[in-house]
Amino acid sequence: MPEFGYSFVRYNEVSDVRGSLREVDVSPKEAREVANYIKGMSLDRAKQILQEVIDKRRMIPFKRYHSKIGHHNVEGFYTGRYPIKAAKFFLKLLENLESNALYKGLDVSRLIIIHATAYPGRKLVRYVPRAYGRRSPKTHVYVHIEAVARVV
């Protein structure tokens, strides 16, 4: 079983709480956009926004991976989507973060997400048969998502 570390290095044991989901089957591009969107929000606000994304009432602006995406006026940015699967996993991560904060005895209503990230994990390579006896690789990338919240 591999041992995973955290990408956040300025962790304070007293006022910070962290959580992670490893090797999640979700798009790395959508997960990155969701992570950048919820960074800096309070925990309750982020959970509310992610629930609105799941219900298709709020779009996540796609700021980096925005080619061939339809134009929408999303909070001052011109492209956006509803990454429902990524939002479900981030909602699960934030609930995990909240339970970790309750276990440490922190005030959940004062938690601010100071770090949220999604980065590629293990790659699963399969092969698709092609014409003339050849084959092409089909790569599936799993994603690690992390979040750190601080009491302010």
Is residue 67 over pLDDT 90?
no
Closest Cα partner for 57 from 87, 95, 21? 87
For residue 118, what are the CA distances in angstroms to 8, 30, 42, 48, 138?
12, 9, 19, 20, 22
All structural domains of the chain, each given as residue ranges with its CATH number in brackets, are: 16-151 (3.90.470.10)
Closest Cα partner for 86 from 48, 54, 64? 54
Predicted confidence at residue 109, as pLDDT, reads 95
Is residue 101 over pLDDT 90?
yes
Q: How many CB atoms lie within 10 A of CB 21?
A: 18
Predicted confidence at residue 58, as pLDDT, reads 92
| pTM to 2 decimal places | 0.90
Weakest-pLDDT range from 23-27, 66-70, 125-129, 135-139: 66-70
